[in-house]
Each structure stands twice: as C-alpha cells, then as structure tokens.
Amino acid sequence: MSTTETFPVQRTDEEWRAILSPEAYRVLRRHGTERAGTSPLDREKRPGTFVCAGCGTPVFTSETKFDSGTGWPSFFRPIEGAVATREDRSFFMRRTEVHCASCGGHLGHVFPDGPPPTGLRYCMNGVAMSFTPKGE
C-alpha cells in the first residue's frame, strides 16, 4: 500500500491486527493471497452481499458472482464506487490489484477474461470478505 494514499476508514496496524484474523490481516493489510479452493465464499450461492472483512463496506452482490473454476470467489462487476484499482508489479508480473475504496484493504485482482456483460473477472480472496445473506 502506498504511504501517500489515505482512505475514509483509518486504523493503526495494531488496530487492524486486533480486529482481523491472522489470515485476513495477511491478505487485507499485507497483500497476501489465500490458497485456492479454501474459501467457503467460493461456493456461496445464496442471494446477498459480499462485504469487506476489514471495514464492512459492501463490495459485490451475489447477482454478479460466477463460478470461474479458479478456486476463488469471482465476480464480473463490483458495487459502484466500492473498490478501486492500482497496478501491481509483484512477482515479476503486471496485474491490476483490487482494493476496498473505504479502507484500502487488498481484496484480489481483476483480469480481462470474465463473462459478459463486462468481460472482467474480479478474482477475490474470500478471507478478505464476509457474506451477508439477503434480508439479514
């Protein structure tokens, strides 16, 4: 995360560690990646909303989720204004990182190989999100 970026939700590193599980902290605050196939959110099929595990901001709806076969929850469109992107040059690659627009937490990456209507695949770390079923 760039030291010049600021977000509406601000916490100290100690505060993030206190509210997040060790795995969620590693992914959201240190740009880690969970192992493919480990998130129950990849198999979540109920209507509802996927929210940032760091700050609770709604980031994706179940209507935009699809099975990409990658082992990570995938979506073709985020909720408008909920996420932002930046170039990621780690691991000798150029990718587009997706982060929560409210807290800056790393959610995953977006790729140009998704289904219509956007052609995009937002490949998200399940540990970086939680799910709220419709009506709750």
Catalytic residues: 123
Burial of 4 (0-12, 13-18, 19+ CB in 10 A): exposed
CA dihedral 41, 47, 48, 52 (to 10 degrees): 20
Task: Return d(Cα 44, Cα 96) in angstroms, integer.
Answer: 25
What single-letter amino acid sits at 22? Answer: P
